[in-house]
Amino acid sequence: DSGVTQTPKHLITATGQRVTLRCSPRSGDLSVYWYQQSLDQGLQFLIQYYNGEERAKGNILERFSAQQFPDLHSELNLSSLELGDSALYFCASRGSGDEQFFGPGTRLTVL
Amino acid sequence: DQQVKQNSPSLSVQEGRISILNCDYTNSMFDYFLWYKKYPAEGPTFLISISSIKDKNEDGRFTVFLNKSAKHLSLHIVPSQPGDSAVYFCAAKEFGMGNQFYFGTGTSLTVIP
């Protein structure tokens, strides 16, 4: 158990809809990273927050947004969903070192 | 553009033998490299890392080698055990750009009993 929690585990929705994925980092970790893993793809970095502020942005679509709240949990919002958005979404938290601790992921299926 | 590449999607090894997983990168500014292991239905877990000032780091059965001139790193597992069967990802971070990690596409290792 990494100490990072993600909800929900699975999400099935239709094209055009909007969903919110939630992540709680390890106790004390200020950094949260979001990644997308599509079929046969590696982990694509989406965005990182540190103590409530956006710190780095990767290949995140404009239809996607994220935020980190004062209690350090983070939410990833995906809107106007397309079939190609079906993927595993991981969040990871990071403390003072370079190692990231990953949650179990949310599997999103867009029908 | 994939800056970290794992060109072997899969690898099968007999139990007790050595497993060698390879990773290539294109960005010479990467200064820190990590290996993660992922079991099905779980998130990746950190395995071992290496800084660019070293060429080798060892932790039990796991050794990571870094060849900066070739922009290549490898993970050696000796001896391989059935419980090592998982997907292995390498990742890299760029010096001075402290926040973004670049991951490879993963290599699925199967250790045959």
Q: Which residue of B has its CA nearest to A43?
A: B103
Residue pLDDT, tens place only, A26-37:
999 999 999 999
Q: Which residue of A has its CA nearest to B101?
A: A45
Question: What's the whole-number mean pLDDT along residues A51-78?
Answer: 94
Q: Which of B2, B41, B49 is facing A99, going by the closest CB pair? A: B49
Q: Which of B45, B89, B103 is facing A2, going by the closest CB pair? A: B45
Residue B94: what pLDDT? 82
CA distance A87 to A79: 14
CB pairs under 8 A between A and B: 57
Q: Is-contact A43 A91, C-beta < 8 A? A: no
Q: How confident is the model at residue A64 (pLDDT cuts 50, 70, 90)?
A: very high
Total residues found in chain A within this entry: 111
Q: Choosing among B99, B103, B105, which should be mutated to test the A contact, i.e. which has the most A CBs within 10 A?
A: B99
CA distance A36 to B72: 25
Name, in order, each residue with C-beta under 8 angstroms of B107's C-beta and a sequence gap of 6 or more: B6, B8, B9, B10, B11, B21, B22, B87, B88
Q: What is the pLDDT along chain B (113 residues), one digit of tens a residue?
A: 789 999 999 999 999 999 999 999 999 989 899 999 999 888 999 999 999 999 999 999 999 999 999 999 999 999 999 999 999 999 998 866 667 889 999 999 999 99
CB atoms B46 and A42 under 8 Å:
no
Q: Which of A48, A90, A105 is facing B99, going by the closest CB pair? A: A48
A56 touches chain B (CB under 8 A): yes
Question: Phi and psi of B48, rounded to 5°?
Answer: -160, 155
Q: Which of B12, B105, B59, B13 is nearest to A43 (CA)?
A: B105
Q: How confident is the model at residue A85 (pLDDT cuts 50, 70, 90)?
A: very high
Tokens at A54, concatenated: 């956006």
Give me the residues paired with residue A22 across strands: A7, A75
CA of A30 vs chain B CAs: smallest distance (Å): 12
CA of A16 vs chain B CAs: smallest distance (Å): 27
How many CA atoms does the CB half-sphere of B41 hold within 13 Å? 2
A104: chain B residues, CB-CB within 8 Å:
41-43
